[in-house]
Structure 1
Amino acid sequence: MYLIDKPYVSDFLINTIKENNYKVVATKMATELIADNSLNWISEKEAVATIKNTSSQRIYSNSENVLSWIDKHFWGSKLSKQINTFKDKVKFREEIKDIFPEFKFQKIKLENIQTIPDKELTFPFVIKPSIGFLSIGVYIINNIKDWIQVKEEIKPDNLKSIFPKNVLDTSHFIIEDFIQGEEYAIDYYHNDKGEVIILNILHHVFSSEKDTSDRVYSTSKAIINQHKLKLEKFLNKIGNKLQLKNFPAHAEVRIDENGKIVPIEINPLRFGGWCTTADLSGVAVGINTYKYYFENACPNWDTIFKGKENKIFSIIVLDNASGIKPNDISKFDFEALANDFENPILIRELDIKKYPLFGFVFTETDFDNKKELYDILSSDLKKYISIKK
């Protein structure tokens, strides 16, 4: 069954639900977001009874906002504990510390960040909200100079958010070792036997060592072939520890030059946020990962990229890096943006005054044309922005 909530549900996901007659829980927010009475709506009461009585019931949420619904109805249950272990980065680190005994981390209250003694810190490190989303409040600290500057930014007035506290809570932060290596995002699920089934692997590219943005994620046949087997083995360790079955997730990891994998975080009951990574697989490559999860199916990677072996498929996250306040922006030129890409498959426009993003671009790029991805990676997007007069 599907639990739908803000901030965004895509047409691709809605059509998948409709075409396959998947059950959707008729919460107030879901019925406001999807005005289609022909869907297989079920009441909240029926949904609660089904989940309680069917241990193998598959659940997918398009948004972490719905995790509060699960807590409300199933607090203390195995499902609730699994979700909250993933969502709280400190709990997650504590759960897997026997797998990574050398990894250092600590939890700290927002109001104590300004006074923590420097001698308690080991550079480089990362500081981020214990419960976070969209790289908000995430900083890489290489030295004491960085730390002095970041402490000026990590203040309550700078951390206001449109997201509920179970999605982004800046009252507590985690300070942890900086993980070396290349970063990857993985859509996957644990099947009915608990085994990991990988549905996508995306390389999260950064513009610099200090960059923590979510601007570019890219996948290809080469990326999947290179990392699939070792990521399956790695994610199975965590899944076995938490006894996960029939459970979708979106993991972020780093892989160093020796092939060592260290998790950054794992997001429960969903793939990439804002209907991004799963929809990219559908509209660009033709693999509907929502269906694969609900049908307990495994992709045939030998055929999926047939004829597209030399293509890179990317999600461009249009975060506002311009420094221009949303209320001062009159227009974002999506047409000019599209013209800067070889093959823009899909552009999703968002209202920058309502959300912290202009939108998303799904692209197909030839291996010989990676420059367009590096150009947008380092762009402040000002060339597409018109300012109010």
Structure 2
Amino acid sequence: MSLNPAESRQTAVRRFRRASAGGLPFVPYGLLPLLGLALLTLIAWTSFAPHSVETVARNAARQVVEGTGADWAEVKVSGQWVTVTGTPPTPEAGERLLNAIRAARAPTWLGAARPVTRVSGKFGGAGLRPDRADTTSALSAGTDAPEFLFRLSGTKLTLDGRVPDIATRDAVIAEAGKDLPRRIEEVVSQIEAIGIASPAGFEETALRGVSLLKECDSGVVSLTTKHLNVRCALPEREVERVRALASRPLPYGSVGDVEILAQEVVETCEEELARLLEASRIEFDPGSDQITSSKAALLDLTARAATDCPGRLRVEGHTDNTGSAALNENLSQRRAEAVRAALIQRGVAPSRIFAAGYGPAKPVGDNATETGRAQNRRIEIRIVKADE
């Protein structure tokens, strides 16, 4: 059947309207690829990218912990922020680990870079000085002020810190390598040039710090909050000379804590404390941190010996391996703190003594025998070494 022209036009119009009413305009279809791309970007931004960055930061921090043997440390990571928790053997050991994590680098497509932007520590026990929460022997966190920390331990001299510029960094490294005493076999630099104008006198102070540390057999020289702090161990005949050098006025900042330890005195003092605690042990009620009343005389003698010792003292608590390691660590910490409190009551300055609990980590006897376990349940008092 054929249609006349009018009917054809009417049919065409009807078909056109039917198609228009039943579909979507072109514009939404054109936006679909853009919406898909935006969705993929959002997923990558909120899931994959942060996960990847966080994984790199976590791996870098854990490698530092394992590499330094800091088995006391637990690492928590959020993005590029790292928090370290645990009980370090000394405050300086805790700060040393934080600085190592700050300096850690990881490979990227642009080359090695620092995956961690912020590091903080939440330490208990030995990680907190009894007289103050911060330690002036370590670099400050969260600041771009020029500071340094130089450490001589064993045969290695380590340079760390933030100096104003490359010229200052190179001058410090050159000074460290010049006329090295035979006991120093290696110089390691982790110094960062932060790219600012060098404050008047800063470089001279840094060079003096390096020269001073080379006079020591072991020690730490640091500049934080514009205070130069010195801890140094060396033969007794050199003590007064080096103390005078360390106490001279500075061209930048001021002299802070100066602690010069005579090695012979340190050894004699530790031997005396060890003899006291081996002859009559400090004992506690079972499973408790209460010192038995019969040990009052021993604590009196120990306090007198500790008062005569130089430097700072660490009361160490140790247990056998019976029971939970976590419970033993907690118990050893509480017992060490109880002994510290008892010695303070007997005249030892609170700023000179702190407590550390090691649990079963450092046995001196065989935990398979009752005699060995009894040897491991002990309190020791040691002088904090100059390079700790």
Q: TM-score, normalization: structure 2?
A: 0.25
Higher helix fraction (1 or 2): 2
Instruction: Give the structure with higher Rg (CA).
Output: 2
Higher relative contact order (CA 8 A, sep 6+): 1
Q: TM-score, normalization: structure 1?
A: 0.25
Higher strand fraction (1 or 2): 1
